[in-house]
Structure 1
Amino acid sequence: MATRLAFLAALAVLLAVCPPQPVAAGSVTCKPSPLEIVFAIDVSSSLTRTDFANLKKFLQAMAEHLPIAETATRPAVISFSTNVKVEVDLGDANDLQSFKNGIEAIPYYRGFTATGSAMQTARRTVFSKSRSGASKLLVVVTDGRANYPGSRAEAIALVRSESEELRNAGVRIHAIGIGDIWLKDELVAIAGSDDYSMIHDFDGLKALVDNMVKDICSVRCDDLGEESFPGQCFSGTQRIVNVKKTHNKALKRCEKAITYEYKYCGNSHLCKDVDVTIEDCVNGVRKIVTTWEDYDVKQQKCVLRRSVQETDCNAIEECKEPVAEIMFILDSSGSINDQNWRLQVNFVHRMVSNMKVGPGAIHIGVIVFGTNVWNDIPLGSIGSKPQLLQRILALQRRVNQWTNTGDGIAKARTELGRLSRPGVSRMAILMTDGESNRGANAISEAAKLESEGTTIVVIGVGKDLKREELQAIATPPLSDHLFYATDFNKLMDWAAKISEETCESITPPDPSLCDLPPKRVVSTCFNSLQKVTEIKYEFDAQGRCNKKIVSRTISPCKVICTDPINGNQYYEGETWKSECATFVCKRPTSQTEVFKPTAQECPGSENRCYGTSSSANFKCHDDRGALFGHCSCQAQNGSPLLRVITADANAKP
């Protein structure tokens, strides 16, 4: 599947269960203790060679901090794509250099994403060699959804099954996702808990090393004191975990008290949004370059990030989805000359050439807008693909026109509502080179169109675009549905990428998506207007999983708050609950303002909420998602506090 590029700043909450032991400035290491650690790394087709090189560097950097020895830490590495291979087995590397050599020897693979098979291999083949009494940790690194073996539903079912089998066997699982917040549910399925980290791209792996090392250390009764572990700044919000370890002399045991804080973390709203460009073809390979800015908390400024995806210059697969309604909305305003109009039409022709068109397949329609709106090809009116392609090439430009984008979108909504077949996926593809300046409000009309079940793809062409307007029109995630070309001559370069995303968007959702919670996004502000979009998946009466989009607009524009746990967005004045914590979105009075969850509830068994009057002994998750049988939920200074027994004070270190 296509790599999920980030449209939001990454959420990466890395929490520690023991304090660091410094060996050099800025680095940590573990005390020697028996540990079996297995790295399962995704080497599927979505990885570039640069990504693969960074993945190897991450593994080697981790190794620098681990006490690798037969009596201490024994590392192993499994690679997975379509096939799964144990690259380094437990006991193969008994010192640092031999492990590094094993990593360096891993070849560059391609293929599907067989995450579940990799986890099964870890359980059956690798952890079966574990030493008695050793701790066991599986670290899974992936940048996409499991899609092999079998269907997507079968692949994710295997992931969940293997996660449960591994955890029942005493293996703790930590998942690392490279991408955006839409990958979160995949990571939860892998880890079986909220024991995961998320970063934008493979370049960010090096930032995880110290926190990962701290996290895998064993908890000992001589490791007492307080520490705070801030997560990364995520769309202006930061989650901080405070851990206090004490020695309860009366009960002769170590205890860990965990509290959470949430605060603003800088002017991240001033950072640049995602920008995607396509480079010229070189030796049959074309690079898709994605750039964006993150707010760096330490530097207190926006930092530029970059990701590169390599594609075949000429490859463009036929869209095999048999049934869909697709409406093209083309700009014929005065800024588009005859040459650019012809390039725009040729692009549509190329897109449709790769679709299965016909009465029982994809229906195509074309709307042209300028000062007025013209329904040049009514939806589904031409069932013959050769005749449709001929009609597209004959589309005529209207001259001396304004840019009436809103009425063009409104006409698409009318036609799709009138002519679409029941239960069939709908998509509108808008192409424009400028800001709307006539007719209905384009953002309001986009919200109405989305709420009637249509996904909107936006292609902006030129250097004078109002990107805030296009970002508000396109359906989230913008990484899949918003594209920019510097001029119409570059438009054809996007054909393969947009065809791929179009086919994926109109494909009926995988049934596993109906198990996921809704995603909520608040758009950027444009002309005092914002669009609020909620995307959820629901089963219909026939048991089919369908995508449902509910959108509306708000005015005037408001402050946007991002839930630091699940990435959903809310606007000023809204209240919401997430994982037992209640939040209120409000305008910050300072950059250090702290938000705490309510004290009435706190984390309990299987992530359910328990009141503060709950029994003192119930099963609950600690700060990393591990299940404990002895813990209590208390109220302390207006916040929930989770108290966990971490070690036997009489046990030998």
Structure 2
Amino acid sequence: IDSSRSVRPHEFETMRKFMIDILSTLDIGLNATRVGVVQYSSQVRSEFSLKSHAKLEAMVTGINQIVPLAQGTMTGLAIRYVMSAAFTAEEGDRPKVPNVAVIVTDGRPQDRVAEVAAEAREKGVEIYAVGVARADMASLRAMASPPFEDHVFLVESFDLIHQFGLQFQDKLCGVDLCLEAEPRCEHLCESSPGSFHCLCLPGHALRGDGRTSCRAIDLCVEGKHDCQQICISSPGVFSCDCNKGFKLNRDKKTCTDMDLCSTVQHGCEHQCVSTLGSYYCVCPEGKLLQDDGQSCGTCKSANIDLVLLIDGSKSVRPQNFELVKKFVNQVVDSLDVSAQGTRVGLVQYSSRVRTEFPLNMYHTADEIKAAVMKVDYMEKGTMTGLALKHMLETSFSESEGARPSGRNIPRIGLVFTDGRSQDDITEFAKKAKEAGITMYAVGVGKAVEGELREIASEPVEKHFYYTTDFTAISTIAENLKFNVCPEESQGEIEVKDPCDCESLVEFQQATMSSLEKLTHQHILLLKTRLHPNTDKSILSWLMKINH
């Protein structure tokens, strides 16, 4: 806007009205048409930038507050400012949105305009030149974009500029920006006066910029579906499917359990039992299920050295610590405890490690159970790495009651924890397994799966277990798939009978039996809380107890 001294006060007021009339026809908004106002005379002053106002009312207020500069007429200087400052990202300019400059002047420029106007047009600025009263037509044509009949206007007086505004609106707003500008909308473009809007095809929505690009609407990810088990997404629509062992009902949403024992080649030697989405094999009394999960066999009796590491940190809480002790005693009840049979040691840890009793202290189940009930809760931190070091170097030493490795009696370490270790576990978790100790990791509550996996022996999936609730820790028994017996030993030791590891299998079997009562009261709760990676045999065992 030219505010040189030649523009009289009442004429400038008419110019204000012209600007407001033009703005009132535009679709104003940060995501629609943005408007900035610059006045110039011998100097240039920005009244408000493209990013200053998002509503017409605020722009009208800004226009009404303009105070004319009332000096010379440096139109070229104004064009350079608009090109280099007003149309910048810092001032609110957007890429790929048309840049339009409307210059209103009443006189001949006092500086060069042709070169700077050509430079602005080359940079993509479309220039409309509006001359009033004494304006120079040659200067207007030097500024404006071609064709001149659409971009150059001369009004005889300021009194007529309001009427001219209607004609100019048709020129400025009658352009279909979807056709005139380069394509920017990914799918559909809708023109509006002085602006455009991008639309998306069905099943799609505009991305965060709200302008040009579209994204497919994934109803499954957004949770906008009612599939019971599996949701399969297509743009804007979804379909449902079921997990293995289930079939889709007629409503195409819910699933029904299939009797897998009657529909698949289960391979069970004795009996197949169907569960929700799975099945398991069982053996007759007096026989044990073998490692293949299908065949049945018998083994002679054998023993183990078992050390339990229980987390006594403050996050466990007293009532949950009592549940852990109850579980330990249920396990002890299921074992053939004696000096020559199975030996049990117990270690509690928090910020420090304490041996509650070593492997050689008690020789009957009653003695061990009594000692367990007397264990005091330590509280404080969670130094699992320190506990693993203690187990390896002390608990499984011969001085603590561990039998010599040459006797081939399996050594088992069972770690209970409810949270992330405050020290490093890597070194001694690795060393324990290298020393031949079969490691099981049990996580409860906030325990970290990565640490559980690092502690557990291979195959990891059969040696770690996680549950969100202390009342469900008894289900660890079904996860103890003791199948780590080597068929050959090192050196001159003769080949072992695979059944020599029956102690491990027997431990699993007896523990399952003794924990049925403890688990039964929590069975329904537990079924909704099992970790997604829980071995299917755990689910099988739970269903067996529940029935």
With normalisation by structure 1, the TM-score equals 0.32
Higher helix proportion (structure 1 or 2): 2
Structure with bigger strand share is 1
Larger radius of gyration: 2
Higher relative contact order (CA 8 A, sep 6+): 1
For normalisation by structure 2, the TM-score amounts to 0.37
